[in-house]
Amino acid sequence: MKVGSDLDGVIVYTPLKKNDYVPFKLREFYNSCSPTKYAKMNFDYIITGRKEFFRKLTEKWLEKYDVNYGNLVMYPNKIRKSLNGVFKFKTKVINELGIKKYYENHRGIYNHLRENCTYANIIFIEKI
């Protein structure tokens, strides 16, 4: 069974504030985040709304905390990021990869995935 997870808010404790969304602050912020208890689980896929731009930084963080995963799927740089865009991105990836269990912490994304990923068990993770 293929298992996937969101990154920020599930594997990574990320208490983002509005001011943290400035790109130079995001690098610093992402580097300073700590792992959650879910970081000890095994995932076939990590599917994140983080832009591809942050791949190296994200992979280094995952390695630093010894997160066991198969593939990291990141939001494309060329697509303007919006909540609706993240809905569509995650839905498409989960369905195309045949993921059967997926962990998500954002209530809106969780609700969208529950409605649109009919073959996957979408699990909501309460705020950590």
Amino acid found at 7: L
- In this prediction, what percent of the chain has a pLDDT beyond 70? 91
Q: Are 15 and 36 in contact (CB under 8 A)?
A: no
d(CA 39, CA 11): 5
Task: Give the pLDDT of residue 21.
Answer: 55
For helices 107-116 and 83-97, the axis angle rounded to 10 degrees is 40
Q: How confident is the model at residue 23, as a pLDDT?
A: 61
Give all domains of the chain, ordered by start, each with its CATH number.
Answer: 3-124 (3.40.50.1000)
Question: What was the pLDDT predicted at 26?
Answer: 73
* pLDDT < 70 regions, the chain: 15-24, 128
**pLDDT at residue 127, rounded to an integer:** 77
